[in-house]
Chains A and B, each alone.
Chain A
Amino acid sequence: MNITDREFSATRRLVLKGAGVAALIGLGVLPLDVPQALAAANDKYPEEAFKQKNEADAIKALYGGRTAEPSDQVKMDAPEIAENGAVVPVSAITTLTGVTSISFLVSENPVALVASYRIPDGTLPSVSNRIKMAKTSNLTVIVEAGGKLYSATKEVKVTVGGCGG
């Protein structure tokens, strides 16, 4: 019995599918939806910010020299104790106006920046997602509004493995 083997056939399917798309591009047959939607984004993936180990460096890479000021207008919803660090449901919402992005950082993760969401005009400044947390750590949400940065921070306790369920 090999219950630690984590591969599921779906993962294989996914890889095959990726290969298929690559093959199509190679043949000059473009799957229409993919490049169009990605091109429409017209925004580069912030590769450098996702390479930084610690939070300060990640913020610097993502926002340049700007620093975030704590604001009670940034509301975060995160559990006191995460049921499992692999899946921590976290959401953020703000009453600030002119919001252009919302980012999530976990200070103790090997890579501090977890996700950064671009909020165009007409999209509400609110996002929910599920993130990984390596251990008990501060979780920081940074909202970019009117060119300025605002933040909220909360400690989430993380415990792993065992005989629950």
Chain B
Amino acid sequence: MASTIRVRATSNGETTEVQVLIQHPMDTGYVKDAKGEIIPPHYIQQLTFEHGGKAVFIADWGSGVSKDPYVKFAFKNGKKGDDLKIAWIDNKGATDATTAKIQ
């Protein structure tokens, strides 16, 4: 099954730039569907990035983050070929995780 997580992690030797796009509705709970019924809130709450056994970035999100959320950051010491572990959990308890190789 295809992952919900798309990652681009590139190292220039000094820093590793990480970009992630995640497939998720990020419903706020303020929008109605075609039948006029409220679409219940459904959004990622936490997204974590781990490199070498250590968290390098933690995103805490509310429903104000856009649908199919995107985030970009950079950290030091990542090398080409290293693993970067990424995981998210949403307000309904659903999760997904992936491991990307730094390019």
Contact = CB atoms under 8 A, between A and B. Distances in A.
Given A6-B33, A115-B65, A33 B98 contact: yes
A10 B25 CA distance: 10
B46 A18 contact: no
A127 interface: yes
A43 B58 contact: yes
Interface in A1-54: 2, 4-6, 10-11, 13-15, 17-19, 21-22, 31, 33-34, 36-38, 40-43, 45-46, 50
Given A5-B33, A45-B60, A13 B1 contact: yes
A165 B48 CA distance: 35
Nearest to A118: B58
B95 interface: yes
B24 A14 contact: yes
B94 A123 contact: no
Nearest to A128: B72
Interface string B73-103: 1111100000001110110111111110000
Contacts, number: 165
Nearest to B56: A123
Contact of A14 (B4, B30, B97): B4
A120 B1 contact: no
Interface string A47-63: 00010000000000000
B94 A18 contact: yes
Interface residues of B, number: 53
Contacts of A128: 70-73
A126 interface: yes
Interface stretch (A103-111, A140-148, A152-160): A103-111
A110 B30 contact: yes
Nearest to B70: A130
Nearest to A109: B64
Interface in A85-134: 86-88, 91, 106, 109-111, 113-120, 122-124, 126-132
A33 B69 contact: no
B38 interface: no
A91 B72 CA distance: 9
B96 to A, nearest CB: 7
B73 A110 contact: no
11 contacts: A5-B33, A18-B94, A34-B96, A34-B97, A115-B61, A118-B60, A120-B55, A122-B77, A124-B74, A126-B74, A132-B66
